[in-house]
C-alpha cells in the first residue's frame, strides 16, 4: 500500500521504518529541515507537504505532538484536507484529546475517512514493532488500515466511533504516569531509608507493587541520568488531558490531579525540556534526598 506518515520524530521515524520493512511504499513529511536525510535512511521517500503526501497515499498517518500540530497538519495551508480524496483513510496515531479527534471525524465526514488509533509502548515499542494500537473507527476504514497496524504492533479495536481510541489512550497515560509518580516517591523514600534503589526495583517488580513505569522508567534516574526518550512535556500534556476528561465526566480524579501537579512542577524547573524520569528528580528535589548521594538532582 501507499502510506504517508506526517511527523518524523522519535516515534514516527520508527513506525515508518516498520512499514517500509513490511513492504509498503512510504512517503514522509515533517517541516523540520533534516527530514529528507532521515527518510532516506529508513527507505522512505520525502513529500513536499502534507497535501502532496496525501494525494499520493491511500492511508495517511498523523504522528505529531499535540492538537495544535494536528490541526495544522490536517486543516492548515497545504495540509491533508487540501490533498484529500474520498477513498483516503486518515489515521490519527498521536496522543490527542478525544474532543479534538471527534471534531476531526465530524469535519471530515463525506470527504475522507478517519480512524482513531493512538499507541502505547513508547520509542521502544515503535522501534521493535510492538506498539499497542487502540483502534476506533468504522469497520470498513479499520479493515483498510489493519495491514499497516500489524506492521507496527498489536491493534486492539476499542470502539466504532472516533474519539474512543483517544479516550483509551488518555486513560492509559494517566495510569502510567501516576504509577511513575508513585514509584518515584517510594523509591526515593526507600533509598533515603538505606535501601539500594536497584534492590527496590528488583524486589517490587516481582511483587504486587510492580509496574512498567517502575521497571523501565524510574531506574533511568540513576542509570541513565534521567534520559529515556520519553518526553516530560508529553507527561504534562497527557496528565492534563486526563484531568480534563475526568472533570468533563464528573469523576473525582484526585490521584491523577496530584501527579499532574508534580509533573507541572518538573516542567517549571526544567523549562519544559527533558525526559519523563525527571519526575523522579522532582521528588528528589522536593525531598532534598538524591537517590545517589554522590550527585545532587540537576
| Beta bridge mates, 296 | none
d(C-alpha 165, C-alpha 156), whole Å:
9
By DSSP bridging, strand 59-62 and strand 45-46 are unpaired
State the pLDDT confidence band at 122, using cuts at 50, 70 and 90. Answer: confident
Instruction: Find the DSSP H helices in 27-163.
Output: 35-42, 50-55, 67-75, 80-83, 98-108, 122-128, 139-152
Residue range 186-212: mean pLDDT, rounded: 97
Q: Which helix (H) or strand (E) holds 183?
A: helix 164-193
Looking at the chain, the whole-number percentage of residues with pLDDT higher than 70 is: 98
State the pLDDT confidence band at 68, using cuts at 50, 70 and 90. Answer: very high
Q: Is 169 a catalytic residue?
A: yes
State the pLDDT confidence band at 2, using cuts at 50, 70 and 90. Answer: very high
For the question of whether the overall pTM of this predicted structure is more than 0.95, the answer is no
Q: What is the residue extent of each domain of the chain?
A: 2-161, 167-287
Whether 50 shows a pLDDT value over 90: the answer reads: yes
Which residue in 286, 295, 296 sits closest to 263, CA to CA?
A: 286
Report the interhelical angle of 98-108 vs 164-193 (nearest 10°). 160
Whether 191 shows a pLDDT value over 60: the answer reads: yes
Assigned CATH for 167-287: 1.10.1040.10
Residue range 22-30: mean pLDDT, rounded: 96
CATH 3.40.50.720 for domain 2-161 = yes
* Span 125-184, pLDDT tens digits: 999 999 999 999 999 999 999 999 999 999 999 999 999 999 999 999 999 999 999 999
For residue 235, the model assigns a pLDDT of 95
Amino acid at each position: 500500500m501507499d502510506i504517508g506518515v506526517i511527523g518524523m520524530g522519535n516515534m514516527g521515524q520508527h513506525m515508518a521504518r516498520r512499514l517500509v520493512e513490511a513492504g509498503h511504499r512510504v512517503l514522509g513529511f515533517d517541516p523540520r529541515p533534516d527530514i529528507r536525510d532521515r527518510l532516506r535512511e529508513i527507505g522512505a521517500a520525502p513529500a513536499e507537504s502534507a497535501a502532496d503526501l496525501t494525494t499520493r497515499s491511500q492511508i495517511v498517518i498523523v504522528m505529531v505532538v499535540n492538537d495544535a500540530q494536528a490541526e495544522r497538519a490536517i486543516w492548515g495551508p497545504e495540509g491533508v484536507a487540501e490533498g484529500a480524496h474520498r477513498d483516503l483513510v486518515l489515521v490519527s496515531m498521536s496522543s490527542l484529546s478525544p474532543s479534538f479527534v471527534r471534531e476531526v471525524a465530524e469535519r471530515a465526514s463525506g470527504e475522507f475517512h478517519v480512524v482513531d488509533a493512538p499507541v502505547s509502548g513508547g520509542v521502544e515499542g515503535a522501534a521493535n514493532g510492538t506498539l499497542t494500537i487502540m483502534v476506533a473507527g468504522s469497520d470498513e476504514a479499520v479493515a483498510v488500515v489493519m495491514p499497516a497496524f500489524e506492521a507496527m504492533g498489536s491493534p486492539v479495536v476499542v470502539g466504532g466511533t472516533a474519539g474512543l481510541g483517544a479516550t483509551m489512550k488518555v486513560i492509559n497515560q494517566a495510569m502510567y504516569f501516576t504509577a511513575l509518580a508513585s514509584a518515584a516517591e517510594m523509591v526515593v523514600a526507600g533509598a533515603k531509608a538505606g535501601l539500594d534503589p536497584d534492590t527496590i526495583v528488583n524486589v517490587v517488580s516481582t511483587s504486587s507493587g510492580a509496574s512498567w513505569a517502575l521497571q523501565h522508567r524510574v531506574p533511568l534516574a540513576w542509570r541513565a541520568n534521567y534520559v529515556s526518550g520519553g518526553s516530560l512535556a508529553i507527561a504534562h500534556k497527557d496528565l492534563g488531558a486526563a484531568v480534563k476528561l475526568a472533570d468533563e465526566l464528573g469523576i473525582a480524579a484526585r490521584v491523577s490531579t496530584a501527579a499532574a501537579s508534580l509533573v507541572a512542577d518538573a516542567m517549571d524547573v526544567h523549562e519544559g525540556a527533558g525526559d519523563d524520569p525527571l519526575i523522579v528528580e522532582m521528588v528528589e528535589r522536593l525531598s532534598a534526598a538524591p537517590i545517589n548521594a554522590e550527585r545532587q538532582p540537576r
